[in-house]
Amino acid sequence: MKKTKLVIIFTIIFLQINVESFSQTWKSKFELGGKAFWGNTDKFDINSSGRVSRKDSLMEFSLNYKIRYGEKDNEKTNETYNGGFKFDWLPQNKVSPFILLTAYKNVKKGIELRLSSLAGAKWIYYKTEKSNFSLSAAVTYDMDKYTDKKKDSEKDNAQITRLSIRPKFKQKFADGKVSFQWMFFYIPKKISIKFAYEMDYVKDPPIKIIKERIVQKKDDYFMTSILIKF
């Protein structure tokens, strides 16, 4: 007697909650969602994210987080935590200090903790309606801590402190805009030089409508890099 194959059709449940609030200076958004499967395989995923931000002449501030957790047949398949904040004081002034921090954790990928931070200031040399030139300098610190203790003991690969200097020049011509960026990084025992070119060209006649204006747009991007070890 042949055995009859039993096919179980799984049920999918999806839940998502969005909460948004706006004010003249502050904006916030929070999201909670999840998926669940029952049948031959039991599986569920939960995710949540949120963001609070402010952008005006006094400050630019943002705080965000993202969490993902999942299981399959009672085995953990995902556990990710990600978050950070950015603070820029008096962003429209000639000199404006800033600070940034991000944190990441994913044990399934072997990352116990990954931190990236920087603190510095931006100096606007000149700024007009069609062009501007600014110089940013910051001290950055990156740290990786792994679940593999042997890998974690390799301090040269786990922690990096460096000085970042980035001059930035932008020039707008008629209906188009051409942007150049130069970046220089100093890392102990290493030098990395990068050059970036950007072009954003806007011209009539029509291609698409943006805010009731018919425009044609063209985007180009180029980057090169040099790394010297000594």
Identify the three-state secondary structure at position 156.
Answer: helix
Q: Residue 20, by phi and psi: left (phi above 0), alpha (psi -120 to 50) or beta?
A: beta
Indicate if the pLDDT at residue 82 is higher than 70.
yes
Q: What is the DSSP letter of 211?
A: T
Maximum average pLDDT range among 13-27, 83-97, 123-137, 162-176: 83-97
Q: Where are the alpha helices (DSSP H) in the chain?
A: 149-152, 155-158
Contacts of 155 (CB under 8 A, 6+ apart): none
Residue 73 backbone zone (phi > 0: left; psi -120 to 50: alpha; other: beta): left
The dihedral region occupied by 153, where left means phi > 0, alpha psi between -120 and 50, and beta the remainder, is alpha
| N-to-C CA span, the chain | 76
Residues in the chain, total:
230
Compute the average pLDDT of residues 10-24: 55
Q: What percent of the chain has pLDDT over 70?
A: 60
* Domain segments of the chain as ranges: 93-229
Mean pLDDT of the chain: 74
The whole-number pLDDT of residue 229 equals: 47
**Span of 16-20, 40-44, 159-163, 168-172 with lowest mean pLDDT:** 16-20
Quick: pLDDT tens for 90-115: 988 999 999 999 999 998 888 999 99
- In this prediction the pTM is 0.66
